[in-house]
Chain A
């Protein structure tokens, strides 16, 4: 047989061996299937950046029909639900400290007088009085520690009062129109499902391979293996190929379930999805291999995986928009394969983009995978130390 034939035979031997071992490890096999399903259901239902129905309280010192009407209109926005009523500002502050409510609406005793002079009540959009001199009708006391909740309540500052005044609602004329492409209903889950591909693949792919070499070392298999003619590169390729299949299986599960359960549109072609997924899987697997050649025990490999996983969740654009991050964090994000994959896969799945529309991300993933493979093969010495 030729040297190339021998090399293929050795690589194939490792692949078959890995597949056999994987198929016998029922727990691992179950996790491969269960992790994506459970996480998809969990995150799909749970993660929602659109904050509504915040529990709030009220301190109503005016006790008038105006105040009741104002509360009704505020509740009608669905941003807040009034659950508690307090007698004084002190009581309200204590309730916020206890965590009973996130915010309290304070309506002063002279609410009717304030209301009737407020321009938004009188319907004269512009008034002769300076806006700064116009007293507010009431005041929101907000627990500002959760910025998402606070900003949602800040959105209630300019509550239109037409309805309180008994006039038909007269929305302000927009200066600019907004046309929403791709996610017209603005559902968070549409954005989350493709992102979840990156997170789950990062987790399983890096975890499996980071343990791969370490496990053979721990079980003593390595001592035999390195006296055979196996070359490091053959070992590396043989180790990652079976997990590429696992990765594709997981992607199929997530996208199919995301489509069926959460009605996430799959606009891109299967070829583009497969292409970007393979690029990312390869990058993640080789990263895992590099970890595997550094870690001495499986526990160390696990810790290093978490070290990669956390920034992949928090900085990759999965949870928070990339553009909102400060520049140094963006540099870190650029180094993570998950960031590039999330851009690619959201583009392909949601916007029907081609991989060729986003060449930079694709090339970066390919180079990362190639570099990782070479580093891992180079770091893996066929020696015991």
Chain B
């Protein structure tokens, strides 16, 4: 257990309802300083709602939230200068140029003229936006918009950065580049909380929480999660995989069976004492071998396979 002073975010029993719907249910979080922490989950699982409560944008229905030592929502105003927030949808001004947008943000954070110009030049270089500084933000590409949003969110050197599905409108090449920038920031001491529904992104995090229907199903480092998962993973190859899949998913021992090209990936519960032998008995003229679990397997086994 980490000391409280080493935690950037400490949350106990955080819940939020919208009308009858329970969006976030009794969430507990311990996010250490200087790490990249991920929220992994399908759309509507409570990722954005949780982030909004942690930034003070939304009042929790109940729960105890401490972010950078401030108690939320009571001290939300004091937290403002120390956090950066990159929203899911582009939220800068499309009719302002790249530089004007950054200038606006700099003034909002009360940077002096000299300091502001220096910092903006630095950011334009860092995020390769120098050639576009006079371009209207509305006419930028998805990747450029995303880099501009990150520049704006980090302009005032926040200690804690919230990123709500930052790469949903970005191609894989830009995504890799983007994550390099996040690790740079992390290296400089920034704590980052990022939500995503991409497995490969989640795998890059130091630690993550898997959310489903507002409930935390599992948390820990990706390796830890893969070790601890309650299932063993097999890949079956051979003929007639579709019929095999239909048969297998009706068995209580099987969490999920999903086809990947010419193979069928089967998750068998650990509660089955002899998973390999058990699976072998189910096969007709196919062969199976046990494979190393992936984060996707962890996700599927945590969420009971409803989403695959």
Q: Which residues of A are interface residues toward B (Cβ below 8 A)?
A: 1, 5-6, 9-10, 12-13, 16-17, 20-21, 24-25, 219-230, 382-385
- Extra pairs beyond A24-B95, A382-B57, A384-B52 (12, CB < 8 Å): A6-B110, A10-B107, A20-B100, A25-B95, A221-B91, A221-B93, A223-B85, A224-B152, A225-B91, A227-B55, A382-B76, A384-B57
Q: Which residue of B lies closest to A229 (CB)?
A: B80
A383-B93 in contact given A13-B107, A227-B85 (Cβ < 8 Å): no
**A220 touching B89, Cβ below 8 Å:** yes
CB neighbours (8 Å) of A5 from chain B are 110
**B96 touching A229, Cβ below 8 Å:** no
Q: How far is the CB of B170 from chain A (nearest CB, A)?
A: 17
**A220 touching B109, Cβ below 8 Å:** no
* Interchain CA distance A25-B136 in the complex, whole Å: 13
Interface centre among A224, A228, A383 (most CB of B within 10 A): A224
Q: Which residues of B are interface residues toward A (Cβ below 8 A)?
A: 52, 55-59, 76-77, 80-81, 83, 85, 87, 89-96, 100, 104-105, 107-110, 112, 152
CB neighbours (8 Å) of B89 from chain A are 220, 223
CB neighbours (8 Å) of A230 from chain B are 108
Q: How far is the CB of A26 from chain B (nearest CB, A)?
A: 11
The main secondary structure of chain B at its interface with chain A is loop
Contact pick for A224, options B81, B87, B110, CB 8 Å? B87
* Interchain CA distance A165-B250 in the complex, whole Å: 115
**A220 touching B58, Cβ below 8 Å:** no
CB neighbours (8 Å) of A1 from chain B are 110, 112
CB neighbours (8 Å) of B92 from chain A are 221, 224
Q: Which residue of B lies closest to A222 (CB)?
A: B91
**A229 touching B109, Cβ below 8 Å:** yes
Q: How far is the CB of B91 from chain A (nearest CB, A)?
A: 4
Q: Which residue of B lies closest to A25 (CB)?
A: B95
Q: Which residue of A lies closest to B81 (CB)?
A: A229
CB neighbours (8 Å) of A225 from chain B are 91
CB neighbours (8 Å) of A21 from chain B are 93, 95-96
A16-B87 in contact given A21-B93, A383-B57, A384-B57 (Cβ < 8 Å): no
Q: How far is the CB of A110 from chain B (nearest CB, A)?
A: 80
**A229 touching B108, Cβ below 8 Å:** yes
Q: How far is the CB of B155 from chain A (nearest CB, A)?
A: 10
Q: A-B contact count, CB below 8 Å?
A: 78
* Interchain CA distance A1-B107 in the complex, whole Å: 12
* Interchain CA distance A385-B56 in the complex, whole Å: 12
**B91 touching A220, Cβ below 8 Å:** yes
**A223 touching B91, Cβ below 8 Å:** yes
Q: How far is the CB of A169 from chain B (nearest CB, A)?
A: 70
* Interchain CA distance A383-B94 in the complex, whole Å: 22
CB neighbours (8 Å) of B93 from chain A are 17, 21, 221
* Interchain CA distance A25-B93 in the complex, whole Å: 13
A-B contact pairs, 17 of them (CB 8 A): A10-B107, A10-B110, A13-B107, A16-B107, A17-B96, A21-B93, A220-B90, A220-B91, A221-B92, A224-B85, A227-B55, A228-B80, A229-B77, A229-B108, A229-B110, A384-B57, A384-B58
* Interchain CA distance A220-B104 in the complex, whole Å: 16
Q: Which residue of A lies closest to B57 (CB)?
A: A384
**A383 touching B95, Cβ below 8 Å:** no
CB neighbours (8 Å) of B104 from chain A are 13, 16-17
Q: Which residue of A lies closest to B152 (CB)?
A: A224
Q: Which residue of B lies closest to A228 (CB)?
A: B108
**A223 touching B80, Cβ below 8 Å:** no
A383-B108 in contact given A21-B95, A221-B92, A221-B93 (Cβ < 8 Å): no
Contact pick for B110, options A9, A221, A382, CB 8 Å? A9
Q: Which residue of A lies closest to B101 (CB)?
A: A17
* Interchain CA distance A292-B58 in the complex, whole Å: 20
Nearest 10 interchain pairs by C-beta: A13-B107, A224-B91, A6-B110, A227-B85, A229-B80, A220-B89, A9-B110, A220-B91, A223-B87, A228-B108
Q: How far is the CB of B108 from chain A (nearest CB, A)?
A: 5
* Interchain CA distance A21-B104 in the complex, whole Å: 12
**B107 touching A9, Cβ below 8 Å:** yes
CB neighbours (8 Å) of A221 from chain B are 91-93
CB neighbours (8 Å) of A227 from chain B are 55-57, 80, 83, 85
Q: Which residue of B lies closest to A11 (CB)?
A: B107
Q: Which residue of A lies closest to B78 (CB)?
A: A229
**B96 touching A20, Cβ below 8 Å:** yes
* Interchain CA distance A142-B251 in the complex, whole Å: 93
CB neighbours (8 Å) of A10 from chain B are 107-108, 110
Q: Which residue of B lies closest to A9 (CB)?
A: B110
Q: How far is the CB of A353 from chain B (nearest CB, A)?
A: 42
